[in-house]
Structure 1
């Protein structure tokens, strides 16, 4: 039977898989982490693949950004400035203060909390911003800008907060972030512009599902890398879980209250998710390569907490804006 105009066109398998992955991400992410813990002995040599997997994920994300979208979003500089200030100034200072108070100034857990706070915005925030009625071009622009400045912001924040207490190769961190984040981002946006968006449409059935598998693989491999250190933590793990839980909740709340003066649903939703979600896979890569493994533990815990918290935030956002709209209708 020939397809007619009324016959629904079925999505390619790759896009259907991608949609399924995004819908189940809050399950797939912790499952990947748990599998990494269980099979760490077989995955310990796979860490060399992580930077390449991550660079591919970044490229695919940037392939969906075109210069016009970024130009339109750049016409709203105030939300961008507020978001980046919350993420790279307020949150790291709060992480350092809370971590020092609870674990002591020399603890690697303090480094881990600060890393969680200062690493770039999470790519998955695009999904949640779209689901919650936010401004997708704005969050894409925020992610691209934050990815571009991360090679400079992350080493600077760590150096300013820890100074001589933490010794790491600043230039190597910057170089690695340039390779993992900056170059793939520039290439992705350039390819999108050169192809007038066709490259994204043509490659999506293949590039997007592969990027999701790469995302799960990054979590799996990094979880395997820190598994022996997590198992050796003992009672420290019990102390650390509620701290990370409260800090992730704090980051979401920080974005929510920071966005309230705008009195705009799209901007409030966008800033809330941007402030609450981080590029945790990148944080784990940095923690494992440049700090002691214990510093990666708070970042890894963020994987388990960040996505469920995003689900809760989605529900709260919908309830709040529905209640507000009904109040406006009554008046």
Structure 2
């Protein structure tokens, strides 16, 4: 059973770029059957967040906080520069008042994605750094997300319950994260490995459920905007690519930049917690706002695969040339 659970989690991570879009399509086709289960989403997402936090302790956060500039730079690139890019793309294609523009901005302000940790580890980046930044950004989300959405989209005329948004973010994100860090400390870091054969596969399955149910909820409204997809899809893809590029080129602003930091910031800036974005979009905004967030599922992992391939090619070339810091 132990080996099966770990093997399933590894298999899921390997084929995420196929499985998640597949879940999205399945949710659209099973809209009538799955929509009644929308009430389970906060609980499913809370569990996913808890499992993420099991790998991070207070020591990790303290170690990273000793050098705060890379953290501040990461958050500024992800939640200041990226929203401006999102607004520029949306306003130029759809207009500043468009729900699609709001959706692009929502994608840019949601917390960093935990899958960035996997890609950073695979590509040779700084895993403790990216894990700590993801956890920190997640815990700050009840402040960051409402503030930035009010600042960026408040003039569009859209109305949402900011107080309830903050409450739900605490319930779905902050409390499970804090509980995960607490469990890490009480178990002296052993809880993640001990629970992985069961906790990791369940987390993957719950992720699929969140995607399917959210897709099911928006499916009826999505039918009416099919004609817009030819313009929305390129806009979403462009935003995701530019977010990765912001991380890579923005990392040169860090004093003493290393190859590991460059890789870490590239993925941190490019990857978002899309499942949380879908939950917020469907719960608090008009259906059209959720469309860019949902569509980002189709591109975030494939683009990460391309980034990884580029990194590996650069590293291989640098080894041949005797220069190990080319990607730095």
Q: Shared fold (TM-score greater than 0.5)?
A: yes
Q: Deviations over 1:17-54 (max 9, x none)?
A: 11111111111111111111111111111111111100
Q: CA deviation at 1:329?
A: 4.5
Residue 315 of structure 1 aligns with which residue? Answer: 309
Q: Is the 8 A contact 2:2 2:198 kept in 1?
A: no
Residues 1:225 and 2:209 aligned together = no
Q: 2:108 aligns with which of 93, 112, 117?
A: 117
**Residue 74 in structure 1 maps to residue 68 in structure 2:** no
* Mapped pair 1:151 → 2:145: no
Farther off after superposition, 48-57 or 38-47: 38-47
Cα deviation for residue 11 of structure 1 reads: 5.5
1:324 alignment counterpart: 318
Q: Distance in 2 between matches of 1:329 and 1:39?
A: 53
RMSD, aligned CA = 1.5
Contact 1:47 1:225 in 2 (8 A): yes
SS in 1 for 2:296: helix
Q: 2:281 aligned with 1:287, yes or no? A: yes
Gap regions ≥5 residues in structure 1 = 1-9
Q: Which residue of 2 aligns with 1:255?
A: 247
Measure, in 2, the Cα distance between the counterparts of 1:55 and 1:206.
Answer: 16
Correspondence for 2:297: 303
Match of 1:5 in 2: none
Q: For the Cα contact (< 8 Å) 1:12–1:205, is it kept in 2? A: yes
Alignment partner of 2:174 out of 163, 168, 182: 182
How far apart in 1 are the matches of 2:253 and 2:83? 22
Please give the per-residue CA displacement for 1:216-262, whole angstroms capped at 9, x wherever unaligned.
11111111111222221132111111111111100011111111345
Q: Which 5+ residue runs of structure 2 have no aligned equivalent? A: none
Q: Give me the whole-angstrom Cα distance separating, in 1, the residues matched to 2:36 and 2:199.
A: 25
Which 4+ stretches in 1 moved above 4 angstroms? none
Contact 2:83 2:109 in 1 (8 A): yes
Moved more, 155-164 or 24-33: 155-164
- Cα distance in 1 for partners of 2:237, 2:154 equals 27
- The answer to whether the Cα contact below 8 Å between 1:52 and 1:180 also exists between their aligned partners in 2 is yes
User: Structure 2 CA distance, aligned partners of 1:248 and 1:207?
Assistant: 30
Q: Does 1:238 align with 2:206?
A: no
The two structures have a TM-score, normalised by structure 2, of 0.94
Match of 1:51 in 2: 42
Of the structure 1 ranges 217-226 and 261-270, higher mean CA displacement relative to structure 2 is found in: 261-270
> What is the TM-score of this pair, normalised by structure 1?
0.93
Alpha-carbon distance in 2 for matches of 1:306, 1:41: 27
Are 1:274 and 2:274 matched, yes or no? no
